[in-house]
Structure 1
Amino acid sequence: MTQERQTFEPDGRAVAYIDEGSGPAVVLLPAAGLDFAYLGTLASILVEEDFRVVRIGSRSAGTATMHDLAHDVVDVLTELGIGDAWIGGHAFGGAVARTVALDHHDRVNGILLLGVEAGTTVDRSAALTAVFGEDYAPDAALEERQVAALLSTPTPEWATIAPDTPTLVIQGSADEITPADNGFALQASAPALVSVKSVEGAGHLFVLTHPGETSWFIEDYLDWD
């Protein structure tokens, strides 16, 4: 396994990933329009706690549904010889994670939702600029393809919690992009499966600004499970 960026490209899909560490497998999927590099600190902390962390991006071109993006995740895991994993995602990445659990239930041990995507179109630019600075810009073409995948897939086919799938929601209490109410609403829809933890005072990019607290919630939950 390598800490270098790799590309899985059957059929020209070109899905980037980084595979690091050893132990129980955890997948991290980035938010819409973002490269998974910003998840690096969180991934490093989890690796230090003896998890194998695979960060996976979206295919670099072409149209896709949420089912296609979920299939890409499973194909990368198969390529790496990983039979099952905890699938985690930030915002849009969490929507992909839920789709993986619904479409490929036997490959998923549980879901980690870092902010709960509701499927609505919102302006993320202010939240991103506040952390990355004025020179930062998300990949507009990538985000457009990802939003199109979300909107072209019926909501129950990605937003539902898969049967018997333990789900941890971690969310920033001050997140205006994927607000805390989204997580509590998801918990209310499946109270026996969904647990919610809040990073107090944190905004949308809490995975970057509060990686230690985010990691602790994940470690504690997986140890309990």
Structure 2
Amino acid sequence: MRQRRKIEVSGATLECTLCGSGTPVVLLANAGCSTGYFDDLARVLAAGGLQTISVNMRGTGESRGSLDGTSLHDLAVDVAGVLEALDCGPAHLVGHAFGNRVARCLAADRPSLVRSVTVLAAGGLIGPETPLGAGFRNATEVTMNGSDCVTVLGARWLSPASDPKILAQVECWPAVHLAHLATSRHVALEDWWGAGTAPLLVIQGLDDEAAPPGNGHALREQFGERVRIIDLPRAGHFLVLEQPEVVTRAVAEFVGVGAVPR
């Protein structure tokens, strides 16, 4: 059963999509993107006996709330507020790209609300060779699909082996993308990098230019067996759509789905 809800948290109204019942799994999308591209993953997890909670962060979908002066910690507080409003924690957190920064920050700030963190496209320590976001500043549309973000704005989201058309289902707000990225600018890396003490699954594309795979290896080197890494060839920053079957199976197994439904 699929349900859309708008949940009031401190200073924001967050649009959430709930699917299934059972242990909660929170899905957090890339900066400036709504969570619709998680629908297939949510369906599999719900069929496996879990409840998925896809949270649109401030400024995406129908979520509202100021991003002026907002920090990564504030976005983590938003997600904590959703879990508390639903009275369903602790939860597994699955964060893609920027979304995993929010997930890791929540795990560090409120460990009692978090069972585990899945990091899709780890970043933070090792940055891209050239700065990101320049094309997004030139966007003339309020919203764009992910394919156009790649072909028009130059987003480095895909492996050379991937067709930009796979991102057609991704809905992105370019200005919000930049605003979300800015929330971590003045937050110390150590505040969120290690996700507190939560078990970590890192799935990363070996062709990821935006979040080079050295980040996941650095997490493993620093935190040892608490971190499990899966490196995916022929996948970039949007590995969740570039290698959906592999990513879905790995996430499902990590959060406790037994036999992954097909």
Q: TM-score, normalised by structure 2?
A: 0.77
Which stretch shows the higher mean deviation, 11-20 or 109-118? 11-20
What aligned pairs does 1:49-198 form with structure 2 within 5 A after superposition?
49-60=48-59, 61-62=65-66, 63=68, 64-118=70-124, 120=127, 121-123=131-133, 125-127=155-157, 130=164, 131-132=166-167, 138-163=172-197, 165-198=198-231
Q: Match of 2:150?
A: none
Contact 1:199–1:214 at 8 Å: present in 2 too?
A: no
**2:22 aligned partner, one-letter code:** G
Query: Residue 142 of structure 1: CA displacement?
Result: 1.2
Runs of 4+ in structure 1 off by over 3 angstroms are: none
Query: Residue 126 of structure 1: CA displacement?
Result: 4.2
**2:173 aligned partner, one-letter code:** D
Q: 2: distance between equivalents of 1:137 and 1:39?
A: 12
- Count of aligned residue pairs for this structure pair: 221
Summarize the Cα distance change of 1:17–1:66 in structure 2 as closer, same or farther, 3 Å threshold: same
**2:84 aligned partner, one-letter code:** T
Query: Residue 89 of structure 1: CA displacement?
Result: 0.1
**1:25 aligned partner, one-letter code:** P
Query: Residue 157 of structure 1: CA displacement?
Result: 1.1
Query: Residue 122 of structure 1: CA displacement?
Result: 2.1
Q: 2: distance between equivalents of 1:161 and 1:188?
A: 15
SS in 2 for 1:196: strand
Q: TM-score, normalised by structure 1?
A: 0.89
Deviations 1:25-81 (A, max 9, x none): 111100111111111111112112222111112123313111111111011111112
Q: 2: distance between equivalents of 1:37 and 1:137?
A: 8
Contact 2:124–2:189 at 8 Å: present in 1 too?
A: no
SS in 1 for 2:2: coil
SS in 1 for 2:96: strand
Query: Residue 12 of structure 1: CA displacement?
Result: 4.6
Bigger fraction of residues in helix: 1
**1:156 aligned partner, one-letter code:** E
Deviations 1:136-188 (A, max 9, x none): 7731221122112110212211213313x110101122222222211111111
Aligned sequence identity (%): 29
> Any gaps of 5 or more consecutive residues in structure 2?
60-64, 134-153, 258-262
Q: 1: distance between equivalents of 2:241 and 2:250?
A: 14
> Any gaps of 5 or more consecutive residues in structure 1?
none
Contact 1:102–1:161 at 8 Å: present in 2 too?
A: yes
Contact 1:161–1:190 at 8 Å: present in 2 too?
A: no
Which stretch shows the higher mean deviation, 97-106 or 14-23? 14-23
Q: For the aligned residues, what is the CA RMSD? A: 2.3
